[in-house]
């Protein structure tokens, strides 16, 4: 596909987001853009390509927006319940054993089954799988399909159960001076995080900066109207470029078991969230969303849209991701030694 044609990708995503917003879909600018790009790539010869740095730009905007939800009061609540939050992240990670078992049943080798089932980022799990002899194609396919399934199902289920959400009764003003500092500093931090080869730098860098400023100074600001939707549109358009007709045709039994494993993991996470709610009294909806095996940006944006606790959801998602990144490889190697 000619280089210049990749700039058609955000236009297709824009059309999909606009149609989804007219239909009142949850996270319309992300899910609509995602589905529009997937449909064009799968149903036509037009293989849209991701616009250079488009997804990074979307993560940059969304990361700042998520971080601005952190305030001293909300951070105190998160820290006061750090134990249950950690437990929830452990449960979500441990529930992936269901996916491992299903993968082994479908004939995958242990390394591929393990790293394809871990609820971590696709790039990070592919890298860990490569170091441990996994088949990289199935690992990448399973990770991509898991994120797609969670992004498509969870916001819709939550909106069906909760309605349109509860917008803030006293919306914050836009402090342009604060944002003028946060955005360039967030980009610098993202570049540094990227240079150090850390996961998800364009989300984590800006998010960490905005959350730190929010907790330390409580600037009482938000993103301007439409900024979050722009970030969603760029992320959704970029995610859609990872799927092709061949992706969905290849090894249908493998893909079906991946979807089944994802569904069972989500059900276990919801059950564990209910138990945590009984112990802590924290918001059940936020706990459930925080334990879903999806992406940090997508789940935090869902919390924002529905008026739930964004810091709680974000903290649980971040903790789960870091648990997977730091423990997946040692646990796998211990498992291999045990069965030898």
The residue among 279, 64, 289, 253 whose CA lies nearest residue 155 is 289
User: Are 203 and 232 spatial neighbours (Cβ–Cβ below 8 Å)?
Assistant: no
The residue among 182, 180, 187 whose CA lies nearest residue 205 is 187
pLDDT, averaged across the chain: 87
Q: In whole angstroms, give the CA distance from residue 106 to residue 124.
A: 23
pLDDT for 224-265, tens place per residue?
Answer: 989 999 999 999 998 888 888 888 887 788 888 889 999 999
Q: Which domain holds residue 59?
A: 51-339
In-domain check, residue 210: yes
- Give the total residue count for the chain: 340
In-domain check, residue 5: no
Helix (H, G, I), strand (E, B) or coil at 136: helix
Q: In whole angstroms, give the CA distance from residue 320 to residue 295.
A: 10
In-domain check, residue 12: no
DSSP character string of 14-30: HHHHHHHHHTT-SSHHH
Q: How many domains does the chain have?
A: 1
The structure's pTM equals: 0.86
In-domain check, residue 140: yes
Residue 132 phi, psi dihedral angles, 5° rounding: -120, 15
In-domain check, residue 45: no
What mean pLDDT comes out for the span 34-52? Answer: 89
In-domain check, residue 30: no
In-domain check, residue 28: no
- Residue 292: pLDDT over 60: yes
CA atoms within 13 A on the CB side of 87: 13
What mean pLDDT comes out for the span 177-204? Answer: 92
Question: What does the pLDDT read at residue 198?
Answer: 80
- Residue 164: pLDDT over 80: no
pLDDT for 94-125, tens place per residue?
Answer: 889 999 999 898 888 999 999 999 988 777 88
pLDDT for 5-32, tens place per residue?
Answer: 567 898 999 999 999 999 888 889 999 9
- Range of 69-73, 210-214, 302-306 with top mean pLDDT: 210-214
In-domain check, residue 319: yes
């Amino acid at each position: 596909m000619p280089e210049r044609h990749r700039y058609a990708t955000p236009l297709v995503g824009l059309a999909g987001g606009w149609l989804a917003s007219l239909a009142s879909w949850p996270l319309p600018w992300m899910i609509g853009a995602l589905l529009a790009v997937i449909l064009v790539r799968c149903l036509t010869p037009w293989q849209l390509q991701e616009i250079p740095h488009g997804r990074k730009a979307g993560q940059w905007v969304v990361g700042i927006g998520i971080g601005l939800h952190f305030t001293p009061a909300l951070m105190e609540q998160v820290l006061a319940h750090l134990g249950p939050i950690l437990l929830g992240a452990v449960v979500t990670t441990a529930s992936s054993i269901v996916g491992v078992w299903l993968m082994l049943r479908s004939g995958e080798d242990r390394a591929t089954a393990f790293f394809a089932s871990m609820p971590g980022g696709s790039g990070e799990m592919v890298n860990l799988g490569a170091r441990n002899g996994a088949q990289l194609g199935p690992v990448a396919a399973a990770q991509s399909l898991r994120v797609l399934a969670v992004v498509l199902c969870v916001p819709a289920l939550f909106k069906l159960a909760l309605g349109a959400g509860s917008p803030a009764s006293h919306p914050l003003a836009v402090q342009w001076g604060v944002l003028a500092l946060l955005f360039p500093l967030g980009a610098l931090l993202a570049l540094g995080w990227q240079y150090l080869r850390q996961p998800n730098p364009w989300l984590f860098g800006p998010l960490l900066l905005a959350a730190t400023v929010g907790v330390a100074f409580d600037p009482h600001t938000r993103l301007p109207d439409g900024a979050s939707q722009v970030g969603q549109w760029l992320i959704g358009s970029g995610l859609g470029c990872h799927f092709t007709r061949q992706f969905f045709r290849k090894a249908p039994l493998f893909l079906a078991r991946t979807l089944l494993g994802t569904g069972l993991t989500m059900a276990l996470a919801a059950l564990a969230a209910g138990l945590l709610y009984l112990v802590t009294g924290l918001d059940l909806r936020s706990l459930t969303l925080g334990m879903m095996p999806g992406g940090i940006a997508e789940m935090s944006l869902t919390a924002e849209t529905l008026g739930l606790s964004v810091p709680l959801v974000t903290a649980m998602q971040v903790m789960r991701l870091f648990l997977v990144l730091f423990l997946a490889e040692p646990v796998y190697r211990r498992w291999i030694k045990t069965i030898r």
